[in-house]
A and B are shown apart, each in its own frame.
Chain A
Amino acid sequence: MILSKNENKWTYLGIGIVLLVLVLMPWIISGYWVRLLTSVFMFAVLAKAIDLMIGYTGYVPFGNVVFFGLGAYTTGILMSRGWLFIPGMLISILMSVFVCIVFGLPVLRLRGHYFAVATIGLNGAIMAIALNATGLTGGAMGIIFPPLAMNPAALNRLFYFIMMGLMILAAVINIIIVRSRFGFAIRSIKSNEEAARSLGINTTFYKTSSWIISAVITSVAGSVYGWWMSYISTVDVFNIMISVTSILMVLLGGAGTILGPIIGAFIFQLLSEVIWSQFLTFHLGILGVITMLVILFVPRGLVVGFTDWIGGRLKRGKKEAV
């Protein structure tokens, strides 16, 4: 039971085929679509990271985008001072873990609303610091990454595969977590934190660790995003819309499932692109209306809704056969 309740060899075959198609894609489609798919992968990574908190641990880190921004900015500052990408990314991971521990220990005592709001506050505060510490971060001018000496097509492909690798990595981490003791611990926190603690589970340790894992994945995605875009600014990478979009993707696909957030990311990002190119002036409003419809009519997400529907049909089929 790794991906869903009714899985069999066909599920694996299907996933294998999809992955194969995705690997061959960059040589078939145009540069525009390669970049679009790269952004889909990026949002799938962010959605998986935030789902670790929402779907499994039961906390909603509304301001999770702060780690995206921290990753992009730390890497950017170091790379524009002559560092290579990998060491820059490692330092930015350390930075995110540091912020996560210092801030997470006190704030994870808060529940529900209050935790969500505190993370929004953290994001706003760090964004303001990044915007005003002009000497270090370039302030409102943003940061320019040193350019890569490659032709555009190869560059597109490079980032396509990095982001795709990250997405697969995030899914694998999720599967490992779900099947381990750690997974049981965080799910017990989601269902009843007091009961979990009274059974001797160190809830503080587990929920902080869970947030750290989420933060590290988000931060790496931020580092790669900065390198890919080669220019970042505070309104860009600390934008709360990034968190909100990834939460929407989790909702759309189904929280607490392996494939849900990824499917949500694909549907939402492709849909958003189509709307954006067709109805530029109504873009925000249509996104809002779609969100409302999803919440009102598929509250548990497409994956759960779909498996329920299939399950219902199977049951009915069996009954008729009897």
Chain B
Amino acid sequence: MLFEIALNGLLLGGLYTLMGTGFSLQWGISGIINLSYGGMMVLGAYISYQFFTLLSVQPIISAIPAAIIMFLLGMAVYRFLLRPTIKKGSFFVTLIMTFAVELVLENFMLLIWASDYRIISSPYSNLAVELFETHLPFVKALIFAVSFVAVYLVHLFMSKTKPGKAIQASALNPDGARFIGINVERMYMINFAIGCAIAAVAGSLASNTNAFSVVLAGGLLGKVFVIAVLGGLGNIWGAALGGITLGLVEALGALTVGPEYNEALGLVVMVIVLVLRPRGLIGRRFWDV
């Protein structure tokens, strides 16, 4: 029984890790708390839904075009809305700006897809795997695996490629990065857009197992807040720790106090961690590794 809960929590944690990674990169590196992250995830899910209904492409595959679309959207949002705001005002003005983006996104989605719940039923949604006498849905394992691969790719990009290293340098020391010829503003923009692309991938994957609708955007945002803050910002390993912790807390919480307290439980854990360790559980940035 306990093993089953732990396994479920762990599998959920994989998706949570991916969700948290994008948000955490945007916050920790570009310095933007993206309140439109939940809306972006739902938009990613809708793009996959559209691919599925029109071309019957599986969400696992349509996550790629969704990511590309959201990457471009993220670039545009950063270039035309966020960059001028950052130059002018304090952080909370930027916060309000991302909220305005969320309002426009939600309105757009409501107009096109209405607020009904949608679900994508895959041919493999009824398959199951037997593991140590536990019944394990194949989809959940698949989502976990794809999330893991996606997070690993982000890690490879950040640590091995030239733009990735430039992004790290911009976050570590903006003036120094400028001095050696890195276009810091551009790196922040690319990083923000990568975060948006990750949101789209996470949304597409989640649409495999969960019915979704615009009204879920707020709840999703709450979850990514908890994940990012739990582990520490701008740090992929932090997001992984936060994601898996939240997955386990929710799985255990559903058993002990009931699933309706899931959201409150996560937020309470977040506030406690914030107060005790404001830099998160890992407490170091990814470039300190």
Q: Which residues of A contact B (CB under 8 A)?
A: 54, 60, 62, 106-107, 109-110, 112-114, 116-118, 120-122, 124-125, 127-129, 131-132, 240, 244, 247-248, 251, 281-285, 287-289, 291-292, 295-296, 299
Contacts and interface: CB of A to CB of B under 8 A. Distances in A.
B92 A288 contact: no
Nearest to B269: A121
Interface string B242-267: 00000000000000001011011001
B103 A288 contact: yes
A30 B48 CA distance: 49
A296 B84 CA distance: 7
B47 interface: no
B263 A117 contact: no
Interface string B37-74: 00000000000000000000000000000000000000
A107 B93 CA distance: 21
Given A125-B264, A285-B103, 8 more contacts: A112-B91, A118-B274, A124-B263, A124-B267, A282-B107, A292-B81, A292-B101, A295-B93
Given A113-B33, A124-B264, A125-B271, A285 B108 contact: yes
Contacts of B283: none
Interface of B: 27, 33, 81, 84-85, 88-89, 91-93, 95-97, 99-104, 106-108, 110-111, 218, 222, 225-226, 229, 258, 260-261, 263-264, 267-268, 270-271, 274-275, 278
Contacts of B263: 124, 128
Main secondary structure of the interface of B (DSSP, over half): helix
Contacts of B106: 284
Given A117-B33, A121-B267, A247 B92 contact: yes
Contacts of A112: 91
Given A124-B264, A124-B267, A291 B274 contact: no
B225 A120 contact: yes
B271 A122 contact: yes
Nearest to B101: A288
Given A122-B271, A295-B100, A251 B93 contact: yes
A110 B274 contact: yes
B92 A54 contact: yes
A125 B97 CA distance: 25
Nearest to B35: A244
A132 B89 contact: no
B84 A121 contact: no
Contacts of A291: 96-97, 99-100, 103
Given A282-B107, A292-B81, A299-B89, A118 B96 contact: no
Q: Which of B93, B110, B261 has the most CB of A within 10 A?
A: B93
Contacts of A287: 100, 103
Q: Which of B85, B99, B261 has the most CB of A within 10 A?
A: B99
Contacts of B108: 285
B100 A110 contact: no
Query: What 7 A-B pairs are tightest by C-beta distance, nearest first?
Result: A128-B264, A288-B103, A285-B107, A291-B100, A288-B104, A284-B107, A288-B100
A113 B27 contact: yes
B39 to A, nearest CB: 11
A125 B274 CA distance: 14
Contacts of A128: 260-261, 263-264, 267
A280 to B, nearest CB: 11
